[in-house]
Each structure stands twice: as structure tokens, then as C-alpha cells.
Amino acid sequence: MAYIISDECISCGACAAECPVGAISEGDGKYVIDADACVECGACAGVCPVSAPAAE
């Protein structure tokens, strides 16, 4: 199961810079994860200041 970003996201962009497969991009009001690209490494959750990314 891929990680998903909740509405808590403040669009800081920290997670996108850390994702090893480039699965995270800026969306409408928050960042979003491409579920097909995510390898579930957890790096995004580790750097997020508001704990928005979580395993589905």
C-alpha cells in the first residue's frame, strides 16, 4: 500500500525533496503521492513537520 498525504499538509515541499523515486508532486492545496510510484520507504513521513504522510 502506498503512502498518502492527508489534508494536514501545509505544502512545504520537504517530502518531495526526500522521496527517492520522485513520487511526490505539488497538488491542489496540498502535495500528493503517485501511488504507482511510491515504494513505501517512509522518508516523506520522516521529514514532514505536520505528520501528513502516512501508510494507507
Smallest separation (angstroms) from ligand SF4 to the CB of 29 = 10
Cβ neighbours of 1 (radius 10 Å): 8
Per-residue cell: 36 = 504507482
Residues that bind ligand SF4 (CB under 6 A): 3, 5, 9-15, 18-19, 21, 23-24, 31, 33, 38-44, 47-50, 52-53
Q: How far apart are CA 40 and CA 3, in angstroms?
A: 6
Residue 28 vs 39, nearer CB to ligand SF4 = 39
Cβ neighbours of 6 (radius 10 Å): 12
Smallest separation (angstroms) from ligand SF4 to the CB of 53 = 5
